[in-house]
Amino acid sequence: MTCRAPFDTGTSYRPGARFGPSGIRQGSRRLNLYGGYNVPLKTNPFDSWATVLDCGDIPVTSYDNTWALKQIEEGHYSILSRAPKTDANQPGPAKRGKTLPRVITLGGDHTITLPLLRSINRAYGPVSVIHFDSHLDTWRPKVFGGSPSEVASINHGTYFYHAAREGLLANDTNIHAGIRTTLSGPSDYEHDGYCGFEIVEAREIDVIGTAGIIKRIVDRVGTERPVYLSLDIDTLDPAFAPATGTPETGGWSTRELRTILRGLEDINLIAADIVEVAYADADQPAYDTNAEHTTMAAADALYEIMSIMLKKGPLSKMIGSEGSDGEL
């Protein structure tokens, strides 16, 4: 299932990510059943064992961030609580041993990952996270934004700090990929380690290649535990995705990112998000080109994530899961 979270009041630079879901949908127009076969992965996400549903927008207020994040959590959890069309009655990796649908959320700025992980935690408990981004997003609120209030302390640069403190992340099985931002100082990396992340910098691809990046990610998260994937479109170099909230030069190409995503076909992805597409209108793009580079890149990333989920099979086939008490 896909759903959309049009929220961008947690940004620190460019706005517009609330229109990102519409942009990604616009960028996906050429993807359809008759041209959906993924040659490298040998699968077609539009013609497979699974039913793909677009669940529309989660209603999100733009006036109250605290309430908006609650809306996103509850909206996502409502979708996650629905029985999947395939293997609904088979045991799965959720807390109570159920098989749940996979949900991919289109944002929205990166703040939305916090309520999404809260929803996932209610269903699965702590999960491993693969985080594609040019920024750490584990900054302490006093470092990123100054934390003038509790509401302001939760934004697109601090949500993983809060997720770690809330116990939403599996200990020391999380990884960033594509990092290339400037820091407030070396202590940012040290604090990132406290949050349970390993770092793969964007520049490492020059030495170890895409195969090396894939190996680092898979070795970190494993192939048995539940994994959540969060993709910030600014992982890509602005040459390939200029329409984003906080662009950073020196990023990966679309070809490199798609190759890396395909290399994750053996991990157990239970859910994902694609965020930080700052979109305005196809005829008057605020930051994108008229060729819609960013929205097409995001749509293609969505296609690759769907493909690896579909190739892996239903979550009922996931191994290494342990049931426990919980809501689902």
Instruction: Name the binding residues for Mn(2+).
Output: 110, 133, 135, 137, 232, 234
- Tell me how many degrees the CA angle 136-170-100 measures, rounded to the nearest 5: 110
- Tell me how many degrees the CA angle 155-157-158 measures, rounded to the nearest 5: 70
Q: Is the separation of the CB atoms in 76 and 103 below 8 Å?
A: yes
Question: What ranges in the chain are assigned the alpha helix state H?
Answer: 20-27, 65-80, 113-124, 159-165, 187-194, 205-221, 254-262, 293-312
Q: If we measure between CA atoms, which residue out of 2, 295, 13 comes closest to residue 155?
A: 13
Structure tokens at 89: 């009655």
* Torsions phi, psi for 210 (to 5 deg): -65, -35
Residues annotated in the binding site, as ranges? Answer: 110, 133, 135, 137, 232, 234
At 272 the three-state DSSP class reads strand
CA 82 to mean position of chain CA atoms: 21
Residue type at position 214: I
Q: How far apart are CA 59 and CA 44, in angstroms?
A: 31
